Amino acid sequence: MKFLKKHKKFLLLIVIFSSVLIIYKNNNKNDICYTSLGDGFAKGIDSYGQEDYGYSDYLKDYLKEANRLNVYSKDFTDKEYMINTLYADIIMDKKGKTNIKQTLRESKIVTLSIGLNDLLYKLSVTENINQYKLEKIISDIDKSLDVLLEEINKYYKGKIYIIAYYYKKTDNYYLTEGVKKLNELYKNKKNIIYISSEKVENNYQKYFLNPSSLYPNREGYMEIYKEIALKISKKLEK
């Protein structure tokens, strides 16, 4: 009894601390590893070709504020990434802070932007482009994309959030049509969650500061982030 009286305040502090710790743990899961994969859009390249704040950075902040973020990685993003180069990096188990296969295994959310560089390259080397040749280009990209998605899903078992491309209307009919067809591919893939880019496309003068750039400004990336956040809100409730 004397011991209890003497140490009453100390024991009370322990009880209070333990209660606070339990509440903290219940409300601060910090259990989500988020990985961004892909090209310059995934990296957050801005309208002037510099790495800035992209949709993945905004999503990282959102997860952090929700006390759900454990690890965030965009080690496997590159402005020059094409489908086959990302695929090769997975096959070779490229190392970032951790190897890509381990990163994917541990991930609970994976976003992906890929395919536009493939389209740009194929259009640049195709002579006398026409509708038939464009369809062939898209078909080839489709096959490569299937191989990449299958490889990612060997390690990451969740659904992949694929970000639709957005591009200002230009005089290049086949580029504009090619981007639309890419987005249709993504929309119809299995085991993916399609993230629309319509809000950016419909207000490109606001979101593309450099008329010659493929990449939007921060506000454009913010709009894409908002679309992703809407899709993952149910995941955060678990």
Q: Report pLDDT for 169.
A: 63
**Residue 42: C-alpha distances to residues 3, 9, 163 (Å):** 61, 53, 9
What phi, psi does 191 have (nearest 5°)? 60, 30
Just give the CATH number of 32-237.
3.40.50.1110
β-partners of residue 195 are 163
By C-alpha distance, which of 133, 143, 228 is closest to 185?
Answer: 143
Q: Report pLDDT for 170.
A: 64
pLDDT (tens place) for every residue of the chain, 238 residues total: 554 455 555 444 344 434 433 444 455 578 999 999 999 999 999 988 899 999 999 999 999 999 999 999 999 999 999 999 999 999 999 998 899 999 999 999 999 999 999 999 999 999 999 999 999 999 999 999 999 999 999 999 999 999 999 866 667 889 999 999 999 999 999 889 999 988 887 787 788 888 778 899 999 999 999 999 999 987 676 5
Q: Report pLDDT for 18.
A: 41
Q: Supply the pTM of this predicted model.
A: 0.85
- Compute how many other C-beta atoms are within 10 angstroms of the C-beta atom of residue 16: 10
Q: How large is the C-alpha radius of gyration of the chain?
A: 22
Q: Report pLDDT for 183.
A: 94
Where exactly are the structural domains of the chain? 32-237
| All residues at 6 or more sequence positions from 189 whose CB lies less than 8 Å from its CB, including other chains | 145, 146, 149, 162
